[in-house]
Amino acid sequence: MKFSFILVVLTFTIVPNSGIANKPIEFDKKAFIEVQRSQVRVSDLAQELGEESDSEVQQTAYGQVGFDINLWGHSIDSNIFFRQTQSYLLENESNVTNYSLYPKRTIARDLFKMEHINETGEDRSELVLNEFSYDWGDDEVWFTFGRMHIVYGEGVFSNPINPFNYSSGFANTYGINLANDGMEFLIGKKDDLKLHIYLLADRSFNNYEDEKVARTIFLRGEWAVNPATNINYVLGEDQKRHKYGVEVSRKITEQRKGYLQLVRYSQRLDKEEVYAKGLTHFLLGYQLEPNTRQAFTIEFGKQQRNTLDQSYDPINHLPFEGFAAISSRLSHSDKWSSELGFTQDTDSDYRFYKVSTTYDLGKFNNIRLFHTGPLTTSTSEDLDYTSQRYIPTETGIAVRAHF
């Protein structure tokens, strides 16, 4: 049965012009690979906390291979993510790799644990089924089941309205979305008012102990109030907390857009901690595109930490609470573009910047030079900000090919 199904798929794929049933099968592949080599410099403050190295070379190759196939209205989306990293920092289990190798985990809600991660000395290899979902429906109701990407929200530096993906605006990796296991119902697919119902399951939340599963029951509504104004609202239970919030985005002109997010997390539902409090996150952003060659984004916000252990949400790149950030993308020509970014923790005064430039070698290939790191030589001595001391300075080159 399985062989017969594969044979049918290959037949329609290899002979796309056969005209059978008006081409009922559509096939689209997606693949890229990027090779990076960078110099990672560890801060003096991190060395004071026990880091053994002050500077190490990190070599990484990562990418994805996948396909989307549509069979008479039934869709299957798949994607395999791979990454191979070599660095002395890995052998020492350095905290610095939380930032130089981001994201370390590519599954946000993990029920099936379909991944292979092997660490041996200075080498780390990863092979992850990052997406495999079945989709079916019509203009009114749409159903998705399996391992899926959940992408929404306007935030660049932070995006608290979406707990199922990560914010990578200041990271040196591109094109990676987190996977989520479960199902989604979409009601009103082509209406101005849509409702998404997410039913997800996660065993990694409890470190895969005793097969315990943390459930997610989450509602997201999309309301196109008018051609210029859109509202996202969320409500549900996820990772042992009630989460609810709203995002309002408005296109002021064709070149300008503003957005606001306000999200609330309750206390942990499975713990009775006397001093535990809920968490409040907010984001205020503004985007300007004066012409086709320039784009600017300004964001202010707060990603509140857990008051008991001072931990941050792990799907954000930098461990900032209150922040102000600005980023710009400049296209110098049809082949050459640059990206500049600056952000500051408004509580600790820690400052971080990003500079990169990309040159297109051809239609499907490019080369990128990048440099990221702190502008400050010191940070707050408060233990609440210890994690910021591990943020490294990284200078490197990346070559990417799309297939």
- pLDDT computed for residue 312 by the predictor: 58
In whole angstroms, give the CA distance from residue 133 to residue 145: 5
- pLDDT computed for residue 15 by the predictor: 40
Give the chain's radius of gyration (CA, Å): 22
Among 72-81, 300-309, 369-378, the range scoring the smallest mean pLDDT is: 300-309
- pLDDT computed for residue 17 by the predictor: 42
Is the pLDDT assigned to residue 362 strictly greater than 70? yes
Kindly report, residue by residue over 98-140, the tens digit of the pLDDT. Answer: 899 989 889 999 998 889 999 888 999 999 999 999 999 888 8
pLDDT band for position 275 (cuts 50, 70, 90): low
Q: Any idea what the Cα angle at residue 398 is, between residues 392 and 399, rounded to 5°?
A: 170
Mean pLDDT confidence for 277-303: 93
pLDDT band for position 352 (cuts 50, 70, 90): very high
Q: Is 14 or 400 the better-scoring residue by pLDDT?
A: 400
Kindly report, residue by residue over 153-207, the tens digit of the pLDDT. Answer: 999 999 999 999 988 888 999 889 999 999 999 999 888 999 999 999 999 888 8
Encoding tokens for residue 213? Answer: 């599963």
Beta-carbon count within 10 A of 98 CB: 17
Mean pLDDT confidence for 297-311: 79
Among 33-37, 106-110, 125-129, 312-316, the range scoring the smallest mean pLDDT is: 312-316
- Give 3-state DSSP helix, strand, coil % of the chain, rounded to 5: 10, 55, 35
Is the pLDDT assigned to residue 51 strictly greater than 90? no
Is the pLDDT assigned to residue 8 strictly greater than 60? no
Name 324's Cβ contacts closer than 8 Å, sequence gap at least 6. 299, 300, 343, 344, 346
Encoding tokens for residue 16? Answer: 């796309």
- pLDDT computed for residue 212 by the predictor: 85
Q: Map residue 258 onto helix, strand or coil.
A: strand
**Cβ contact 242:266 at 8 Å:** yes
pLDDT band for position 218 (cuts 50, 70, 90): very high
Among 11-25, 130-144, 288-302, 315-329, the range scoring the smallest mean pLDDT is: 11-25
With 0-12 CB in 10 A as exposed, 13-18 as middle and 19+ as buried, what is 403?
Answer: exposed
Is the pLDDT assigned to residue 16 strictly greater than 90? no
pLDDT band for position 9 (cuts 50, 70, 90): very low
Encoding tokens for residue 130? Answer: 């990052």
In whole angstroms, give the CA distance from residue 325 to residue 93: 30
Prediction pTM value: 0.86
Please name the helix (run of DSSP H) or strand (run of DSSP E) that holds residue 215, with its range, or none: strand 214-226
Backbone angles phi, psi at 111, to 5 degrees: -100, -40
**Mean pLDDT of the residues in the chain:** 87
